[in-house]
Copies of this chain bind each other. A is one copy, B any other.
Amino acid sequence: MATIDDVAKLAGVSKGTVSNVFSKKRPIGPEATKRVFEAARQLGYYPNHIARSLAIRKTMIAGLRMPIPKEGMMSQFEIQMINGVLNECAKHGFRVLLDTLPEHDDPNQFTVDPVDGVIMLNPRREDLRIEMYRQIGMPLVLVGRPDPMDPGVSYVDNDNAELACEVGRYLLSIGHESILFLNASSDMTVAFDRERGLAAALAEQGMPLPPEQVMNYSRELHRSPTEYGYRAVLETMKSRSYTAVVADTDRVALGVLRAARELGLNVPDDLSVIALSNDARLAQEMTPPLTCVELSAEMLGAQAAQILMEKMENADVVRQHTVRAKLVFRESCKKRPR
């Protein structure tokens, strides 16, 4: 691979001159410019982005850390999210380094990536990575709020407590009082917020949300989100009978629907089901079409990217945006006769 040295030699100029011909950072005479381009053409020389990045400490690349399912497709949420990030970054001339590798927060494994800033999905509780990015001065924007809250870190998020609360109110308003909540994994801050929100809705009616009405997904226990929904309903419905279930995602709801069928329960007549995410495709294809919550993933992604661009200009800015979620009524929930 030809380097800047080879070109300089062949063109009879210094490396500095070659550098400036390509970067146009300072003017180079037409004679020299021509000789440089000609030499570069002859040698098949193209500037090395890595060497350049090391020297100028800038890559024009944004990092996107987001685990995706090993097998099977990304969810609609993930896709929309990526789309939002990609579009916003492209507008600013940025490319995106997609890091879907399993997360490690072993500090001795952490490395300073070839990016000018990073967007990180689903921070965990006490996520060590946040502190590491701070230490190296890497601009960071979370999708999902930090936990514990930190006035110094930027993020965009739905108001998960509020969203779950609305769902709770809705279910209560149509007569459901015994609700099973198939929540996300307990180490996710969304799980915590949503449980709190649902509890709040019940509290408004003077009702508790007992622990046995809330389950958490667990990668060890459940083979897949769908399996989680399926097993959870099958098992809990033995001992106790609920009239409504709030599923973490459409996929979980898919399992719930299957279990209901096996138990001879009609949805929505015997059981109302609602999901806290909206995979338009999945939700519409289900029988019945699933009532759920639109999280506006594309907006989340776009806003995260936009904030990141701001932070790269000025490291001091901190933005904490909330994107409003809204209920999408389809046919899986129904008023319960008293």
Q: Which A residues fall within an 8 A CB radius of B?
A: 1-2, 22, 37, 40-41, 44, 46-54, 59, 61, 68, 70-71, 73-74, 79-80, 82-83, 86-87, 90, 93, 95-101, 107-108, 110-114, 132, 135-137, 280-281, 284-285, 298
| A163 CB to nearest chain B CB (Å) | 23
Q: Are B96 and A98 in contact (CB under 8 A)?
A: yes
Q: Are B54 and A51 in contact (CB under 8 A)?
A: yes
The one of B44, B114, B137, B280 in contact with A114, judged by C-beta atoms closer than 8 angstroms, is B114
Q: Are A80 and B73 in contact (CB under 8 A)?
A: yes
Q: Are B136 and A44 in contact (CB under 8 A)?
A: yes
Query: What are the residues of chain B within 8 A of A74 when measuring CB–CB?
Result: 79, 83
| A36 CB to nearest chain B CB (Å) | 10
Query: What are the residues of chain B within 8 A of A281 when measuring CB–CB?
Result: 280-281
Query: What are the residues of chain B within 8 A of A50 when measuring CB–CB?
Result: 50, 53-54, 59, 112, 114
Q: Are A108 and B61 in contact (CB under 8 A)?
A: no
Query: What are the residues of chain B within 8 A of A49 when measuring CB–CB?
Result: 111-114
Taking CB as reference atom, which chain B residue is nearest A37?
A: B108
A136 to B45, CA, bound (A): 8
A122 to B61, CA, bound (A): 23
A259 to B226, CA, bound (A): 41
Query: What are the residues of chain B within 8 A of A41 when measuring CB–CB?
Result: 107
Query: What are the residues of chain B within 8 A of A68 when measuring CB–CB?
Result: 83, 86-87, 90
Q: Are B48 and A112 in contact (CB under 8 A)?
A: yes
Q: Are A101 and B108 in contact (CB under 8 A)?
A: no
A298 to B69, CA, bound (A): 14
